[in-house]
Amino acid sequence: MRLNVHPADPVSYVLVNMAGEFERHNVGAGVVHDCQVIIDEIYANLRAHVLPDNPNLTWTITLNPAEDHLEMVVEYPGPFFDPTRPLPVGYRHPAVRPEGGMGLYLMSELSDDLKHTYHRGVNTLTIRKELSSNYKEHSLCR
């Protein structure tokens, strides 16, 4: 499933469409929740950091289910930004981090694999989520 997201589309549009696909593929509630947090963070970051310089921004999210994992692929035009680069030490632990960067931290912690490529002005973020993985957000709250 491939979903085009336009500037006027609320995050609920993305989450509802993705929820339907998760349900169609019998994805467990914990994995769905982690994926929804990741999608919400991507949406917020695109609106805050890419949309101001590109008010006509259209981005896509593609869900590629497999037997043992999900792959979400997000593509958007814009300047190079690799959210998989190691964050400064202060960002690794929320208790000691400066303001900002929490979305990247959450995406990194909630995904099972996170890859970024950049080609001809398009950022591609590939997020892998194992279907057998435990609900991860709870462990981040300890």
Query: Structural domains in the chain?
Result: 2-140 (3.30.565.10)
Average pLDDT, the chain: 87
Specify the residue for token string 């989450």: 15
pTM: predicted TM-score of the whole model, two decimal places: 0.85
For residue 133, the model assigns a pLDDT of: 66
Q: Which two tokens stand for residue 126?
A: 């590939």
Span of 2-16, 45-59, 108-122, 127-141 with lowest mean pLDDT: 127-141
pLDDT at 92 over 60: no
Confidence of residue 142 (pLDDT cuts 50, 70, 90): very low
Alpha-carbon distances of 72 from 10, 36, 66, 75, 114, rounded to whole Å: 19, 11, 11, 10, 10
Mean pLDDT computed over 18-23: 95
pLDDT at 137 over 90: no
Q: Which two tokens stand for residue 7?
A: 């500037």
β-pairing verdict for 69-77 and 122-130: antiparallel
pLDDT at 111 over 90: yes
Mean pLDDT computed over 96-122: 85
Q: How long is the chain?
A: 142
For residue 103, the model assigns a pLDDT of: 81
